[in-house]
Structure 1
Amino acid sequence: KVRIMVGISVIVPVHNSQCWLDECLKSVWEQDFKQTMELSIFNDASKDGSAEIIAKWKIKLEDAGVPVVVGSNDSAQPRGVGFAKNQAIMQSSGTYLCFLDSDDVMMPQRVRLQYEAAIQHPNSIIGCQVRREPPESTERYTRWINNLTEEQLLTQVFTSHGPTVIMPTWFCSREWFYHVGKFDEGGKVSDTLIQIHVGLFCVSDLRGFGSSGFSEILESIPLIVTAFCDVDEKKIAKGFYTFEESEERPKPKIPICHFREATPPFIICVKQDLTGGAFEMNLNMLNLKEGMDYYHFN
C-alpha cells in the first residue's frame, strides 16, 4: 500500500479512554487547518470500548478528508504511553507531529496556529496555553503553564511541575523529533549515577517546619549547612538553632539570619503561588536575575 505524505500527523495514544475519546476525536474533526492532515492513533491493549469509538471516528474523519491510521497492541498488557506514542509516530507520515492525549480536546485553531509557528521555528518544540475543565481544577498549575515568560521556559524546567512546555501541547517537525530521540519505553527511571559536588549552603524559608524540620535537615546534611534563613523575627532575634539531637558536645548551633543576608547564587526549593504573593514579593525585593542568581527547584 502506497503511503501518501501529509503535512501533519495528529498523534494520539489510547489506553482505556472510552470516557473521553469521543470528545477528543471530535476536536480533531473540528480543526480549521486547510492543508493535509492525518490522524495516527495507537490503541495500547484497551479493554473498554475504545476500539469501537476509534472505528466510528475513522469513518467520519475519512469522509471529511482526514486519513486515519490505526495501530494496536493486542496483548494482555499495555506497553505504556511512551511505546504507544512511538508506534503512532512510526506508522504516521506527516512532516509535522501534533501530540494529543486521548483525554484532552483541541481548540479548532490549534493545528493551524502551531503549524504556522513551527514553520518559523523548525528546530523547536512548539507548545501553547491550556484551559482546564473544570476551570477550578489545578489552578496553580494552570496559572504557571499560561504565564511563563520566554526566559522562564528555560529557567523553570527544574520545578515539580515538570517540563515548561507541557507534553499534551507539543507540536514539532518529524525531523526534529528523530533528532532529539524517541520516547523512553522503559517505564520507571533507574537510579542515575551522578557525581555531585556539594558546597556549603544555607537553608531558607523554614516556616511550618518546627523544630523537627531543623533536626531532619541537620541529620541528613549536618556538615554542609552553614545557616538557616528565615522571615520570622522571633527566630532571627534568637540568632541560632541548637541541634539537640546531635551526639556532639557541645551541641552544634546553626546561625539563623534574615533571608536578605544570604548571598547568591540560590537554589530555591519553595513552591510558588502558595503564600498570597508574600514569597514572590520577598524574592523580587532582592533584585536578582532568574537563571543567573537563582533557579527554582521544587
Structure 2
Amino acid sequence: MHEKNHLISIIIPIYNGAPWIRRCFENILKQTAIGVLKLEICVCDDCSSDNTPQLLEGWKTTFENFEVPFKMYRNEDGNKGVGSSKNKAVSISSGDFLCFQDVDDVMLPDRILKQYERALEETTETIIGCQFKREPQNSTVRYTNWANTLTPAQLNLQVFTSHGPTVIMPTWFCSRKVFDRVGGFFECKKGCPEDLVFFNKHLDLGGKIARVDEVLLVYTFHLNQTTFSIDEDTIWNIRVERLQQIVLSKWPKFTIWNAGKQGRKFYNSLSEENQEKTVAFCDVDLNKIGKKYSPFNDVQKQFGREIEIIHFRDAVPPFVICMKIDLTQGVFESNLRTLQLKEGMDYVMFS
C-alpha cells in the first residue's frame, strides 16, 4: 500500500538546459506516480546564460496546474558547479524522499512509483538505482551492460571498478536521511566526481545499495555532459586510495592480474607499503610470462625492485584484477571462473 503522506522531491540541477528541458519535464508529467503520490519539483538554475530561466517559469505554471509544486532557485553570482546545484535544490525541498534527475536524461513512466515501492522495502540508509538504456543506443555499450547486470552482491563488491558508482547517479532515489547523513555533495566548479565522493562516504557510513531491475531511465550521451569535465587522474586516485584503505590494508600480500599497461600503472600508484605486498604480476601473454617488471623511479633515477610475471594458473590469490571485462571474447572471464575464487575474498575487481 502506498504511503501517500510521503512527499517525494525531484531534484534537478540545471546549467544551460534549454535543449533538454521540454523533454525532461514532459516525461516527468507522464509519471504514473502523479495523482497517486505527493510530488514536488526542486530546481537549481546554476546561473544559466541561455533561456533556461524563462523556460522554467513556463513549466512552473504547467506543473502547478497538475497540483505539483515547482520550487526554483537561481545562482545569480556565477556558475557554482553540479555539487552545489544539487545541494541547493535539496535545500529548498521538503520531501521525505529525493529522486535525482539530470535535465538531459528522461525518466520512464514508472520510475518514481517503482523506486518508491522499492524504498519502502529497504532501510532508510539505502540508495536505490535502476537499470537504464543509453541514447544513442550504441554509446558506452560495455559500461551499460556492466552497470545493468551487476548482481546485488556485486553492487557492493565492485565499487572500486568504474569511473562512478555501481548505481549511476542519474538513477538515484533515496530517503532524505541518506543525504543528511552524508552531508550533501562535495562542491567545486568543475572537474570533481561529486557523485563518487558522495557514494563512497555513504558506503563508509554503512549505507546500503539496491537496484530496481527494470529499465526506468534513458541516460543520454553527449559531449557536453558534465562527466567529460572530470579529470581522469582525480577519479583514478580516489579509486586507488579507497582500495588501499578498505581492502589492501587487510591483505598481507597480493598478486596483480595484468602485467600490461593498466596493471603497471596500478602498481606505480600504490603506497610503498602496498608495493612491498605485491608478490607478482600474472598474465596469459607468453611474451611477458617469465620476465620481471622493474619500475623506474624518476626521482631517485634508478629502477625499483624486480617483480616476477607468472602465468595466472601459477599465481597465488588474493588478486587485484586490472583487466577490463568484455574485451577478450570471454577468455579472461573463463580463465577467472576456472580458479573457482570468491569475489571480495579471493579477488577484487579494479578495472
Q: If the TM-score is normalised by the length of the shorter chain, which range does it land in?
A: 0.7 to 0.9
The change in CA–CA distance for 1:70 and 1:231 in structure 2 (over 3 A counts) is same
| CA–CA separation in structure 1 for the residues paired with 2:323 and 2:295 | 26
State the match for 2:22 in structure 1: 22
The change in CA–CA distance for 1:8 and 1:255 in structure 2 (over 3 A counts) is closer
| CA–CA separation in structure 2 for the residues paired with 1:176 and 1:97 | 9
8 Å Cα contact 1:40/1:69 also seen in 2: yes
1:241 aligns with 2:292: yes
What are the within-5 Å matches in structure 2 for residues 98-113 of structure 1?
Answer: 98-113=99-114
State the match for 1:154 in structure 2: 156
8 Å Cα contact 2:255/2:316 also seen in 1: no
1:132 Cα deviation from its structure 2 partner = 0.7
| CA–CA separation in structure 1 for the residues paired with 2:293 and 2:281 | 11
8 Å Cα contact 2:258/2:282 also seen in 1: yes
Please identify which structure carries the higher strand content.
Answer: 2
Task: State the one-letter code of the partner of 1:107.
Answer: L
8 Å Cα contact 1:240/1:253 also seen in 2: no
Higher alpha-carbon Rg: 1
Task: State the one-letter code of the partner of 1:264.
Answer: P
Structure 2 unaligned regions, length at least 5: 198-233
State the match for 2:337 in structure 1: 284
State the match for 1:256 in structure 2: 309
* CA RMSD across the alignment: 3.3
| CA–CA separation in structure 2 for the residues paired with 1:295 and 1:244 | 23
How many residues align? The count is: 285
State the match for 1:49 in structure 2: 51
1:253 Cα deviation from its structure 2 partner = 6.1
What whole-Å deviation, never above 9, does each CA across 1:104-137 have from its counterpart, x for those lacking one? 1100110011111111113211110001111101
State the match for 2:146 in structure 1: 144
8 Å Cα contact 2:280/2:315 also seen in 1: no
State the match for 1:127 in structure 2: 129
8 Å Cα contact 1:122/1:172 also seen in 2: no
| CA–CA separation in structure 2 for the residues paired with 1:55 and 1:243 | 62
Please identify which structure carries the higher helix content.
Answer: 2
| CA–CA separation in structure 1 for the residues paired with 2:305 and 2:180 | 54
State the match for 1:32 in structure 2: 32
What whole-Å deviation, never above 9, does each CA across 1:55-101 have from its counterpart, x for those lacking one? 111111111121101111111x2111111111111111111111001
8 Å Cα contact 2:256/2:319 also seen in 1: no
The change in CA–CA distance for 1:64 and 1:205 in structure 2 (over 3 A counts) is same
What whole-Å deviation, never above 9, does each CA across 1:14-40 have from its counterpart, x for those lacking one? 011111111111111111102211111
| CA–CA separation in structure 1 for the residues paired with 2:292 and 2:123 | 54
Identity %: 44
The change in CA–CA distance for 1:206 and 1:96 in structure 2 (over 3 A counts) is same
Task: State the one-letter code of the partner of 1:12.
Answer: I
Matched residue of 1:20: which SS? helix
| CA–CA separation in structure 2 for the residues paired with 1:45 and 1:289 | 49
TM-score, length-normalised on structure 2? Answer: 0.72
| CA–CA separation in structure 1 for the residues paired with 2:37 and 2:13 | 23
| CA–CA separation in structure 1 for the residues paired with 2:261 and 2:92 | 52
What are the within-5 Å matches in structure 2 for residues 144-293 of structure 1?
Answer: 144-186=146-188, 188=192, 201-206=254-259, 226-236=279-289, 239-241=290-292, 254-293=307-346
Task: State the one-letter code of the partner of 1:91.
Answer: I
Matched residue of 2:135: which SS? coil
Task: State the one-letter code of the partner of 1:79.
Answer: K
| CA–CA separation in structure 1 for the residues paired with 2:21 and 2:76 | 19
The change in CA–CA distance for 1:23 and 1:200 in structure 2 (over 3 A counts) is same
What whole-Å deviation, never above 9, does each CA across 1:223-249 have from its counterpart, x for those lacking one? 66543322123544xx33375979999
